[in-house]
Amino acid sequence: MAENTEDEAAVSGFARALAAGRFVITAELVPPVSTDPDDVLARALPLKGLATAVNVTDGAGARAHLSSLVAARILLENGVEPILQMTCRDRNRLALQGDLLGALASGLRNLLVLSGDDPKAGNQPETKPVFDLDSRALLALARRISRERTLPPDQPIKGPTALFLGAADLPVDPPPGWVPSGLLAKAEAGARFVQTQFCLDLGLVRRWAVRLAEHGLTERVSLLVGLAPIPSARSARWMCEKLFGTIIPDAVIARLEQAADPRREGVKICAELLQELATIPGIAGAHLMAPQNPAAIPEAIAASGLLAAP
């Protein structure tokens, strides 16, 4: 079977913006526990024209909500470019392959592959996890579908199959001799963009990006650093304690604690970090997350002056 010749860097507006070297901003949307499309749009439309693309989570927090595939299709039909998240937690390889074909048939082209949160952390802890594939294997499967137009073992796929694939990572302050082996493996498996956990320490981000560049990764994948408009010092401390890999400097927590209006200060801090992040070599954009404070995301983007790439 011939390899897919469709250019992956041109399959979506998000991919084209990154290929053009523009600083992009993505935002995260948790679908509602609702069957009304208007409830999805109420969360998505405030981001239209501000975020380059919007991630649609897949069972975030190990909780059920509207199907990410259906919610992403609703965004696409209403002029908001989606990034479909797909986790390994809930489906075996046959179901994952079916959903990948369903995503392609629905016109979805951006895919972020994740392992998925442990069901014991959710509100139905008796749920049985699947994990038939890990995130690297799912990336490789999606890459095979995209480039070779086949399902295992060697079944041809009709129709367009090109996908723009992404993975997650944790920024670290690299010690001497550090090698980003996990990210190198994800790039080898097919990742073209990376979105990170919350990291509000941009000094660390600069050092991390330099070391990734030494290993050729800033040329192979587009790096989007996770930021948040944090509404209070209490929220910041909770994030550091409960969300693995979160990095929030003490100075940021102190600003929130001393602010007369912590929510407004959190939006201001996020806007400032967006502006600074756009100046860091090797960083392609930012990924904004605020599951308990979603209205603050468009406020922070607008305050930064960094609007969606056309």
User: What angle (nearest 5°) sits at the alpha carbon of residue 127, between those of residues 99 and 238?
Assistant: 95
Q: Where are the beta strands (DSSP E) in 92-239?
A: 110-114, 150-151, 155-156, 164-169, 193-198, 222-227
CA nearest neighbour of 289 among 112, 102, 64: 112
Q: Quick one: pLDDT at residue 309? A: 57
CA nearest neighbour of 269 among 280, 258, 285: 258
The residues spanned by each domain of the chain are 8-304
Q: Quick one: pLDDT at residue 307? A: 74
Q: Quick one: pLDDT at residue 6? A: 54
Give me Rg for the CA atoms of the chain: 19
Mention the CATH class of domain 8-304. alpha beta
Q: Quick one: pLDDT at residue 2? A: 36
Q: Quick one: pLDDT at residue 133? A: 97
User: What angle (nearest 5°) sits at the alpha carbon of residue 284, between those of residues 280 and 285?
Assistant: 95
Q: Quick one: pLDDT at residue 10? A: 79
CB of 119 closer than 8 Å to CB of 62? yes
Name the stretches of the chain with pLDDT < 50: 1-5
**Residues 193-235: pLDDT tens digits?**
999 999 999 999 999 999 999 999 999 999 999 999 999 999 9
Q: Quick one: pLDDT at residue 291? A: 82
